[in-house]
Structure 1
Amino acid sequence: MTKLAVFDCDGTLVDGQADVLFAMNHAFELARLPLPDAAQVRRLVGLSLPVAIRELAPEAEQLQQQALTENYKTAFRTRREEGLLHEPLYDGIAELLHNLHANGWSLAVATGKSDRGLSACLASHGLTELFVSLQTADRHPSKPHPAMLEAALFEAGAQPAQAVMIGDTSFDMQMATAAHVRAVGVSWGYHAPEELHATGADYVADSMAELRAELGRFA
């Protein structure tokens, strides 16, 4: 039986909040708009970028929101090209992924990142070859729409009952619920455990050991 573990990226696999905040502040500075609240920016990590921008600048005109989106992308890309991007893996994630892969799991990612951003992130940590499916905001509606998760199921040849979605936000839990996939939250990301439970989490892991144990019970 195929077992599929689908991971969110930011806040679940890696902690990239410093770069997200830098790029968002840069975009708003260029637009001569007040800088967004850092806590609100972190809460929106996981949504597709245009959706997050609309949440952060709801009174801006559409063209200005589009400019904010493009300036964010440019700032993030420039930071990567200059070698300043810092997206560290959470402790124990690499070992967990390798162990799951060695034990016959299929692995996938469903993220609000772009194709380019996800590819660069995974490649920088030597993890690309572990995944059978990479789903990003470039080709799907924003979370919590289930399209990314449904595509991962299709590419992995798995049924919803054979899959688990692991993420740190309510968007991930709602997406899993919409796709009829088991939802497992992690507490080290950007949304509080009580929010994850309230939006459909079947379980919330407080440590990598707890996550490993929970996935070990999955059948």
Structure 2
Amino acid sequence: MTRLAVFDCDGTLADGQANICLAMALAFADAGLGEPDPRDVRRIVGLSLPQAVAALVPDSMPALHEAVAEGYKRHFRAMRSDGRLAEEPLFPGVVDALGALLDGGWMLGVATGKSDRGLSLLLTQHGLTRHFVTLQTADRHPSKPHPAMLYAAMGEAGVRAERTVMIGDTGFDMAMAAAAGTRAIGVTWGYHGPDELVAAGADRLCDDAATLPALLEQP
């Protein structure tokens, strides 16, 4: 019977934090705000942009959140076009884990706070596009932990919630899985700590991508 493994991107498949922190710092400067602490920026990776900015400056008005979000996108595009964008490396063991899951009969998907363009570029860069049957991004859905991305992924793949697992590195991913009624595996090499992942609903934790295929086979 078909099974679906849905992956977060930043902090789970790829490490894009340096680019994220730089673009956010530039957007804050444009808005006349002090530079955000990179540790705080890493913690909001996985949210859609306006929600991420709101978490960083919660006392500001929504109009400012939107302006900073637009500035972030503008700077990220500029960094990409003028060559300042650093390559977003995949975490060790990710490629082999994806291959093993495909060999084991799993269908694969992505649910990410990235844009369609950003996700497409990353998957193309690493030759992974063909691995995934469903790609859900912040361009078409509410921010995590709203379950819309998982609902859409399951709908496109034709897989029920009880046959689906969400793999991510943040509490947002774990809470989204809980809201959608799927299993959740938290990876500990990303942006939130093990305690946060468990508190948000992780069924299991994974410390090494090489062990992920076997972990997904456990009930």
Same fold judged by TM-score > 0.5?
yes
How many residue pairs get matched? 218
TM-score (norm 1): 0.96
Deviation of 1:208 (Å): 1.5
Establish whether residue 198 from structure 1 lines up as the match of residue 204 from structure 2: no
Render the CA deviation track for 1:80-117: whole Å, top value 9, x for unaligned. 22332321000110111122123321100000111111
Residue aligning to 2:82: 82
Amino acid at match of 1:99: A
Residue aligning to 1:60: 60
CA distance in 2, matches of 1:31, 1:38: 17
CA distance in 2, matches of 1:183, 1:127: 22
CA distance in 1, matches of 2:96, 2:82: 29
Residue aligning to 1:95: 96
Amino acid at match of 1:111: T
Establish whether residue 107 from structure 1 lines up as the match of residue 108 from structure 2: yes
CA distance in 1, matches of 2:115, 2:215: 29
Counting only pairs closer than 5 Å after superposition, residues 59-208 of structure 1 correspond to structure 2 as 59-83=59-83, 84-208=85-209
Structure 1 vs Structure 2 CA RMSD: 1.2
User: Percentage identity across aligned positions?
Assistant: 58
Amino acid at match of 1:206: D
Render the CA deviation track for 1:118-158: whole Å, top value 9, x for unaligned. 11111111101111100011111100010000100000000
Partner of 1:188: helix, strand, or coil? Answer: coil
CA distance in 1, matches of 2:32, 2:156: 43
Partner of 1:184: helix, strand, or coil? Answer: strand
CA distance in 1, matches of 2:128, 2:119: 11
Amino acid at match of 2:110: V
Unpaired runs of at least 5, structure 2: none
Instruction: Select between 138-147 and 203-212 the one with higher mean Cα deviation.
Output: 203-212
CA distance in 2, matches of 1:19, 1:52: 15
Amino acid at match of 1:52: A
Render the CA deviation track for 1:58-89: whole Å, top value 9, x for unaligned. 23333332221111001111222233232100
Amino acid at match of 2:88: E
Unpaired runs of at least 5, structure 1: none
CA distance in 2, matches of 1:212, 1:103: 8
CA distance in 1, matches of 2:159, 2:61: 42
CA distance in 2, matches of 1:215, 1:64: 42
Partner of 2:185: helix, strand, or coil? Answer: strand
